[in-house]
Structure 1
Amino acid sequence: MSGSVTLAYDYPLLGVFWTTFWLFMWVMWFFLLFHVIGDVFRDDRLNGWAKAGWIIFVLVLPLVGVLIYVLARGRGMGRREVDRAQSQQEAFDEYVRRTAATGPSRTSQADELAKLSRIKERGDISDDEFQRAKNRILH
């Protein structure tokens, strides 16, 4: 082996910090770039030509394009992200309710009608209320 060998302890600590900082910035840049591209496609108010224009602008001049996009449409970006998260949460909640309602713990119509007739026999509800509740159970 001829020449000098650079070992890990020859790399200064400040160089490690500087390299780590630039690696972090590089990862954050790609995160922001993909977030902007995803937001362009997610926005329902933009037509196809506007979406194509933003995508071309962001890909051809990435730093300037992302900066201008965030300045021009940043507030809407946050609102669309919140709306998406809320709709996903609502869909999940609805799925859980639907799944829990059809599970084995659900009482059958016969059980509900039996409870309803016991309540009527005790005199807690009138005949009219009994008929309305029975119709709700059966339909």
Structure 2
Amino acid sequence: MGFADFFWFLLWIFSFTAYIFVVVLIISDLFRDHQLSGWLKAVWVIFLVFVPFLTAIVYVIARHKGMAERASSRRGIVAEADDYHPAASASPSEDIARAKELLDAGTISQGEFDALKSKALGNQYFGA
């Protein structure tokens, strides 16, 4: 096996991997689209199996705008989830003081205060 054969082998492996990536992208987009009926989703998948390259090209050309919108809305959901940070304080004493205020206001019970207090003290010792 010479260099040219090895080069063509690598080119085919790259092409096949890229095609599999596109098929997975198309199938995930199909199931993310709530406006498309189940029958049309099935037709797209059947065509992807029997006429794979042509169907992938047609799908990407015909539905590119919807794919972009669904992908960007999906990224927005993930970005919102990534931005979530629970309220963290600088020290356990601040957590305990806030919990004590809630206890004094009658918002939480003594048991809930004890749980918050032990959690705050546990976070101090375990670095969580």
* TM-score, normalised with respect to structure 1: 0.61
Q: What is the CA deviation profile of residues 78-135 of structure 1, one whole-angstrom value per residue up to 9, with x for unaligned ones? A: 22112111101212323x2x3648x9564515469xxxxxxxxxxxxxxxxxxxxxx9
Residue of 14, 17, 31 corresponding to 2:7: 17
Q: Which residue of the other structure, out of 40, 53, 62, is the alignment partner of 2:52?
A: 62
3-state SS of paired residue (2:73): helix
Partner of 1:48: 38
1:40 alignment partner AA: L
Q: Secondary structure at the match of 2:57?
A: helix
Q: Partners in 2 of 1:42 and 1:77 — Cα distance? A: 9
Q: Following TM superposition, by how much is the alpha carbon of 1:68 offset from its aligned partner in structure 2, in angstroms?
A: 0.8
Q: Which of residues 83, 101, 105 is equivalent to 1:93?
A: 83
**C-alpha spacing 1:82/1:111, structure 2 compared with 1 (3 Å):** same
Tell me how far apart the structure 2 counterparts of residues 35 and 80 of structure 1 sit (CA, whole Å): 12
Q: Any gaps of 5 or more consecutive residues in structure 2? A: 108-128
Higher relative CO (Cα under 8 Å, sequence separation at least 6) belongs to: 2
Quick one: distance in 2 between partners of 1:34 and 1:24? 15
Count of residue correspondences: 102
What is the TM-score when the length of structure 2 is the normalising length? 0.66
User: For 1:108, what is the secondary structure of its paired residue?
Assistant: helix
CA distance in 1, matches of 2:44, 2:51: 10
Corresponding letter in the other structure for 2:81: A
RMSD, matched Cα: 2.8
Residue identity matched to 2:39: W
Structure 1 unpaired stretches of 5+: 1-10, 113-134
Q: Distance in 2 between matches of 1:100 and 1:39?
A: 37
Q: Report % sequence identity.
A: 32
Distance 1:38 1:99 in 2: 35
The separation in 1 between residues aligned to 2:51 and 2:20, in whole angstroms, is: 14
AA matched with 1:48: G
The structure that has the greater radius of gyration is 1
